Amino acid sequence: MIIIMKRQAPAEEIQHVIAEIEKNEGLKPVPLYGIERTVIAVIGDERIIDERHIASLPGVSNVMPVLRPYKLASRETKHESTIVKIRNVEIGGTKVVVMAGPCSVEDEEQIDTAARGVKAAGSTILRGGAFKPRTTPYSFQGHGRNAVLMLEAAAKKHDMVSVSEIMDVRDVEFMAQHIDILQIGARNMQNFDLLKECGKANKPVLLKRGLSATIKEFLLAAEYILLQGNQNVILCERGIRTFEDETRNTLCIATVPIIKSLSHLPIIVDPSHGTGKIALIPPMARASIAAGADGIMVEVHPNPAVALCDADQALTIKNFEDLMEDIRPIVGAMKRTI
């Protein structure tokens, strides 16, 4: 931690800051008396003190951390990449995984048809919404626990791994019994109680990036899960909110190599929510894989025209087959397989 004092901070204020640092065992303050200002460098693991406390001390102009605030999520802590294994599926290994399925599980036939279609085309993980976070209370909110059971049945029948979003801490136990991967959506990325409860569940967690979350905050949200002893966290970039309005969100592909350098956790991309436009899903899926993503997640519906939600971004099964053909050469160019 580097503490920059104000231009004319008197000696007693400098001494007070030094004394505050010295209260912490293992930290050593080193004052540097410059021409215009004094700077105090702190040697030791600065994460044991709150930078905002130091920032509030009289005479302090600015505090700059030196170390990254997450530990368990950091590649500096764990050098080898994490591979999340669920039965015969690996996320974060050499294979590029494709998660596919409808925005919302609507009925048994719909999810069965979707599962059969996406499995045949190469997907190994079946997605389907049961609890839907909708901007307006007047939109369809999902079929809830019934939908969870329908998703479970379809995944078992087609020998797929299942993933579904959880919104309420009171559903964690139920979801963990029936679903392979617990998804935490963008709007709940900083719902810290939900992060903690999912961290305690003995299931992999797919954590989506919040619309206004920095990458640092994204990794700190993962840290909440990891700190509960759950090592199986999969990150998912799905777009951030910017001024651009041609797409629903701005899909930030650079997140993929940045996460790969900062963290050992696997990262996938969701081009469906990231763009909100069917025509942009194939090019953005290709771009994600070319940037090093460990997988993609897309919305597929047997008949988008009757879908209860997100109809405008759902691929048909034919579209999905085309998408798989479209990405295969890029997967190959990256020396990976599907």
CA distance 30 to 209: 38
Interaction of residue 338 with its own copies, rule CB under 8 A: no
Nearest distance from C-beta of residue 254 to its own copies, angstroms: 6
Q: Which is nearer to its own copies, 156 or 241 (CB)?
A: 241
Q: Where are the alpha helices (DSSP H) in 81-213?
A: 108-121, 144-157, 172-178, 192-200
Q: Where are the alpha helices (DSSP H) in 165-214?
A: 172-178, 192-200
User: What is the radius of gyration, based on Cα positions, of the chain?
Assistant: 23
Nearest distance from C-beta of residue 157 to its own copies, angstroms: 28
Interface pick for its own copies out of 15, 177, 212, 337 (rule CB under 8 A): 212
Q: How many C-beta neighbours within 10 Å does residue 337 have?
A: 11
Interaction of residue 37 with its own copies, rule CB under 8 A: yes
Q: Which is nearer to its own copies, 63 or 84 (CB)?
A: 63
Amino acid occupying residue 296: I
Instruction: Name residues contacting its own copies, limited to 284-323 (CB under 8 A).
Output: 284, 286-292, 304-305, 307, 309-314
CA distance 73 to 228: 12
Nearest distance from C-beta of residue 153 to its own copies, angstroms: 25
Q: Which is nearer to its own copies, 111 or 213 (CB)?
A: 213
Nearest distance from C-beta of residue 162 to its own copies, angstroms: 21
Interaction of residue 205 with its own copies, rule CB under 8 A: no
Measured CA to CA in angstroms, residue 143 lies from 105, 130, 150, 168, 308 at distances of: 7, 5, 10, 14, 11
Task: Find tokens 């410059």 and name the residue.
Answer: 34
Size of the site for its own copies (CB under 8 A): 102
Instruction: Name residues contacting its own copies, limited to 165-194 (CB under 8 A).
Output: 167-170, 187-188, 190-193
Interaction of residue 210 with its own copies, rule CB under 8 A: yes
Give the closest residue to 237 by CA, choosing from 283, 186, 286.
Answer: 186
Nearest distance from C-beta of residue 247 to its own copies, angstroms: 6
Interface pick for its own copies out of 215, 233, 267, 323 (rule CB under 8 A): 215
b (16+ CB within 10 A) / e for 129-168? bbbbeeeeeeeebbbeeebbbbbbbbbeebebbbbbbbbe
CA distance 255 to 237: 7
Site string for its own copies, 216-255 (x = CB under 8 A): xx--x--xx--x------------xxxxxxxx--xxxxx-
Nearest distance from C-beta of residue 281 to its own copies, angstroms: 10
Measured CA to CA in angstroms, residue 308 lies from 84, 175, 182, 268 at distances of: 32, 22, 22, 25
Q: Which is nearer to its own copies, 81 or 250 (CB)?
A: 250
Interaction of residue 80 with its own copies, rule CB under 8 A: no
Instruction: Name residues contacting its own copies, limited to 1-30 (CB under 8 A).
Output: 2, 4, 7, 30
Interface pick for its own copies out of 83, 149, 153, 258 (rule CB under 8 A): 258
Cβ contacts of 126 within 8 Å, gap of 6 or more: 99, 100, 101, 111, 114, 115, 118, 119, 151, 154, 155, 158, 160, 161, 162, 163
Nearest distance from C-beta of residue 60 to its own copies, angstroms: 9
Instruction: Name residues contacting its own copies, limited to 105-164 (CB under 8 A).
Output: 133-141
Task: Find tokens 């967690």 and name the residue.
Answer: 205
Interface pick for its own copies out of 13, 18, 24, 39 (rule CB under 8 A): 39
